[in-house]
Structure 1
Amino acid sequence: MPLPPAGADCEGGTVLVTGTGIDMALLEPLDRQGLKVRPLASPLTEDQLARELVGAVAYLHGGEERATARALRAARETLRVVAFLGVGYENFVDVAAADRLDIAVTNTPGAATDAVATFTVAQIINANLGIPRRLGDPVPGWHGAEELPHELAARSVGIIGMGANGRRIAEILRGGFGVRVSYFSRTRRPEIERELGISYLPLLDLAAASDILVVMVPETGETRSMVDSTVIGRMPEGAILVNTARPNIVCPGALYAGLEKGRVSMAVFDGFYDPESEEAGELRRDFAGRLLITGHIASHTAEAMRRMVRQAVKSIGNVLTYGSDEHEVGSRSASPFR
């Protein structure tokens, strides 16, 4: 769908673009509207981002930068929209500061749901079958029957969060593998329970009932460290923890104790804690063989990236022309925690 005509006050304005894997041809509609697209190597520090945002009318945020209040204030005279690629903007954009500065923040709901769900199920399979530990082995090397992995259909999976991603993961597990699936969400979803044949459990009961516990909620003040020592302490011995949301939803100290005591046999992360943190270093040092870590790549398929970029480009055009967009977040939208 073509962009609406850019407002006259945006003619010749700059759109800052960060991130990798972006097909620049998808940004041509911005060029045609008289906007200057300026891609930058990513990630940028807070100081670098603050400098680069000065004079920009829009920021397509596809990298790992933190658009802090200070960075946004540096561009308050011109910046009108931050278009975030993905849904988990909370840890990357200070939306409260953007609201105060009258800067719209948009995201791309639904564009990467299949990519994230497929990746998460793939990591569930990897961890459940112990594939990472067996790579390169010329023979199985089992020491006893107790080391044999279980089929997914014999496992119980619990999902924390039943938004679009959680629902799609449940659909794949139920329809593709016949897995027993339960979930916890702040808002119960009886229609999904009936449709998919899944059950609702309170969080601690879900942890106790799950051979594999999947974290699929955004990071907010409410969800940060929600998987704490109490939750991990209720997990069955040898359970698998899969977190393809944000790392800080799982308390690192609680995870360390869970791995140390054998409560958690393997932990899967897409994106990990701050590499400068002492707790992250201790986890990597002491449990390297039981951590399956990737670098925030779940949503990065060619198809998902195209959908996200197209949606972000449309949102930029809408905000610059009409002053609003259907995918805005912040004070005018409901909480993203589901």
Structure 2
Amino acid sequence: MGRPKVYIANKVPYEVEEYIGKHCDYEKWDKDEEVGKDELFNKISDKNGVLLAGIKVDEEFIDAAPKLKVVSNATVGYNNFNLDAMKSRNIIGTNTPNVLNNTVADLIFGLILASARRITEMDKYVKDGNWKAPADNSLFGVDVHNSTLGIIGMGRIGEVVAKRAKLGFDMDVIYYNRNRKLEIEEELGIEYSDFEDLLKKSDFILLMTPLNNETYHLIDSKEFNMMKTTSIFINASRGSTVNEKALIEALQNKKILGAGLDVYESEPIEIDNLLLKMDNVVTLPHLGSATERTRSQMAMLAAENLVKGVLGEVPPNAVPELIK
């Protein structure tokens, strides 16, 4: 029996490619731009496995790859997977959780600090030559320490953020989650909260839920109306967990103080989006896990998942919905 054939659909570090090459015959896409559909479908026509990062795996993709056994996503989320179509063809899908937890938590705290202390706004203020006298209260921000952080979605990343908040900034941390996490409550001294109470009590509200039918527009006008007018909203989950029009309205009407965003309903964000015109909004280009070290670790984990899958083993990070 010959070696498995796989396709690497995005650029990966050399050591990742080398690892795959020890176990499989492979072809790769090595350009910075995303591989085109025709090129991709041509290359996967005889492949047993594909490593990719967010490319849509739908019925058309699957039909183009009749020998496919495993699709390895070099991301945590797998909203790009058509789970029903993959399950009908017994195709395993995998993702790369855990390795990015600390990196994303760093970015989240960057958003919290930048929003609270108006760091990007004040950077522009200085560079535009507007600093001509000592700072008056028109330039003041709000404190992060000793404030209340409400986390919606206490997954792995939420737990890391809670630890930073509690132990590093002396914040009171409350959280809302589908399931209570008594161990984490006891370990960190954080408290479980009712969803509406969290919105009403928190100075900073961090949204960290996955995107699914239940969480689509989880935060809408009703939820923004419950928040303090002094609260800051942070979203590092998925853009469509928030009704962006409602967020813009809440900011325009000063229902909340500000926002820190790494995700949007449409990505890349359109240049005429009103969020880009607001001084009290910090906007990042979906950088959650984007450090060289973390992305390399994610690519290696994706490669390990891929190799195990095409060799007939159950990958360590197989998507549960696709395992019999």
TM-score between the two structures when normalised by the length of structure 1: 0.86
Q: Select 2:294's aligned residue among 292, 304, 309.
A: 304
Aligned match of 1:58 = 49
Aligned-pair distance for 1:213? 0.6
Question: Deviations for 1:150-197, whole angstroms, at most 9, x for unmatched residues?
Answer: 221132111111110000000011111111111110101122111111
Q: Select 2:87's aligned residue among 91, 94, 99.
A: 99
Distance in 2 separating the partners of 1:244 and 1:83 = 23
Letter of the aligned partner of 1:228 in structure 2? Answer: D
Q: Does 1:110 align with 2:102?
A: no
Q: Does 1:171 align with 2:163?
A: yes
Aligned match of 1:24 = 14
Q: Give the alignment of 1:94-243 within 5 angstroms.
A: 94-138=82-126, 139=131, 144-145=136-137, 147-243=139-235
Q: Does the C-alpha gap of structure 1 residues 25 and 218 become closer, same or farther in structure 2, counting only changes over 3 Å?
A: same
Q: Does 1:289 align with 2:289?
A: no
Aligned match of 1:5 = none
Q: Does 1:324 align with 2:311?
A: no
Q: Does the C-alpha gap of structure 1 residues 246 and 38 become closer, same or farther in structure 2, counting only changes over 3 Å?
A: same
Q: Does 1:87 align with 2:76?
A: yes
Between the two proteins, the alignment pairs up a number of residues equal to 319
Distance in 2 separating the partners of 1:107 and 1:225 = 24
Aligned match of 1:4 = none
Does the aligned pair in 1 maintain the 2:118–2:280 contact within 8 Å?
A: no
Question: Deviations for 1:268-317, whole angstroms, at most 9, x for unmatched residues?
Answer: 22232225998x844346x4433322222111222212321221111111
Does the aligned pair in 1 maintain the 2:92–2:322 contact within 8 Å?
A: no
Q: Select 1:72's aligned residue among 52, 62, 78.
A: 62
What SS does the aligned partner of 2:76 have?
coil
Letter of the aligned partner of 1:61 in structure 2? Answer: L
Aligned match of 2:250 = 258
Distance in 2 separating the partners of 1:270 and 1:47 = 31
Mind listing any 5+ residue stretches in structure 2 that lack a counterpart? Answer: none
Tell me which moved more, 44-53 or 256-265.
Answer: 44-53
Q: Does the C-alpha gap of structure 1 residues 241 and 210 become closer, same or farther in structure 2, counting only changes over 3 Å?
A: same
TM-score between the two structures when normalised by the length of structure 2: 0.89
Does the aligned pair in 1 maintain the 2:9–2:40 contact within 8 Å?
A: no
Q: Does 1:15 align with 2:16?
A: no
Q: Does the C-alpha gap of structure 1 residues 235 and 146 become closer, same or farther in structure 2, counting only changes over 3 Å?
A: farther
Letter of the aligned partner of 1:305 in structure 2? Answer: R
Distance in 2 separating the partners of 1:294 and 1:172 = 21
Q: Does the C-alpha gap of structure 1 residues 208 and 86 become closer, same or farther in structure 2, counting only changes over 3 Å?
A: same
Does the aligned pair in 2 maintain the 1:105–1:328 contact within 8 Å?
A: yes
Q: Does the C-alpha gap of structure 1 residues 312 and 282 become closer, same or farther in structure 2, counting only changes over 3 Å?
A: closer
